[in-house]
Amino acid sequence: MGNRVKLSPLYMPSFRWKGSIWKAVWIQYLIWLALFGFVSIIYRFALTETQRRMFTCLVDFTNARLSYIPLDLMLGFFVAGVLKRFWYLYNIIGFMDNIALMTALYVRGTNERARQCRRNIVRYCQLTQVLVFRDLSMRCRKRFPTLDTVAAAGFMMPHEKENFDGIQYNYNKYFLPFNWAWALIYRARQEGMIESDYYVTVLSEEVKKFRTDLAWLCNYDWVPLPMIYPTIVCLAVHTYFLVGVVARQYVEGSTLESDSIDMVFPFMTSIQFVLYMGWLKVAEALLNPWGEDDDDFETNVLIDRNLAMGLKIVDDGYGKTPELKKDAFWDDEWVPLYSEESAWEKKYTQHEGSLSHIK
């Protein structure tokens, strides 16, 4: 199996530009390289012998103390915290599938009234997500700059917008579409489209979970990481390489690196710059996933996907269960079927616990 592993996908991202480390650091790297080259030229061609000896002492002094800046520790903690925050936001960003599936399951009926009820429950939940994303994501804000554009896109009907605008409130009105959705659920129970109070509770809990996740998105946007935290990490990284402009110069007569080779180009320091600065750029990109960077949340795509998926589930996919028949393994023992290309996988044993054969 090991011989079949292809290594090329591991390296392919290194040759891309969009979302790559090269796109993230190339401006800073060129500026740093220009400063490094400028100092190197001054040392080689502009300084007197006495000045060169003094510069050598300065290089040894700064190089010996460059490790005083604990970059590994600071970047490690910072990136770990930011990454945890990023994945939590992604996990609660809101997918419509469960609400739509529960709505299709519990709100029964094929008449126009039942269809309207199912579709509007999904649409009202999606409307709230649009309203939230407008206030968090720049991509979504550009797509829906005003409530009129939200209504024009079909997420809000004209009479619903009048209802929405009619409520005067100093704070956001994310709660209102959820009120409409829960009112529809209650009305569906009263009209017999939902057969049990328990089903009302289950469906209401799904809507509640969706609302809670959106509320947490707002809370995390409202209370970001303290500014001093990313500032001190950013300052540490840039200070490290600013000092490195002097500390990593090749000088004659160095007491610290007497066996060093005059490479002219700072090869190893350049690698270090790309890795550490790239590490910092990763954290900066994850710190605000609501922007317009290459790897930020595709909120508009999610909105389109949620509405299309939700309406398809509760409308076109409602009540279209396949005819119940005997399955292909009804009278026979099930035998795994493999293609010729995948037959080699049959020789591997089933997944078992590491102690399952110990007696």
Q: Could you please report the per-residue DSSP string of 290-331?
A: TSSSTTS--HHHHHHHHHHHHHIIIIITTT-PPPP---TTSS
Assess if residue 333 is contained within a domain: no
CB 92 within 8 A of CB 302: no
Joined tokens for residue 351: 């997944």
**Number of domain units in the chain:** 1
Residue by residue, pLDDT tens for the chain (359 residues) are 444 545 455 566 666 766 677 888 889 999 999 999 999 999 888 888 889 889 889 988 898 888 898 999 999 999 999 999 999 999 999 999 999 999 999 999 999 999 999 999 999 999 999 999 999 999 999 999 999 999 999 999 999 999 999 998 888 999 999 999 999 999 999 999 999 999 999 999 999 999 999 999 999 999 988 889 999 999 999 999 999 999 888 888 777 666 667 677 888 889 999 999 999 988 888 898 998 888 889 999 999 999 999 999 999 888 888 888 888 778 777 777 777 777 666 665 566 777 777 77
Assess if residue 154 is contained within a domain: yes
Assess if residue 162 is contained within a domain: yes
CB 198 within 8 A of CB 217: no
Assess if residue 303 is contained within a domain: no
Assess if residue 130 is contained within a domain: yes
| Residue-number span of the structural domain to which 187 is assigned | 95-222
CB 107 within 8 A of CB 188: yes
Assess if residue 316 is contained within a domain: no
Assess if residue 123 is contained within a domain: yes
Indicate the DSSP class of residue 68: G
CA dihedral 298, 300, 305, 308 (to 10 degrees): 180
Assess if residue 144 is contained within a domain: yes
Q: Is 192 left (phi over 0), alpha (psi -120 to 50) or beta?
A: left
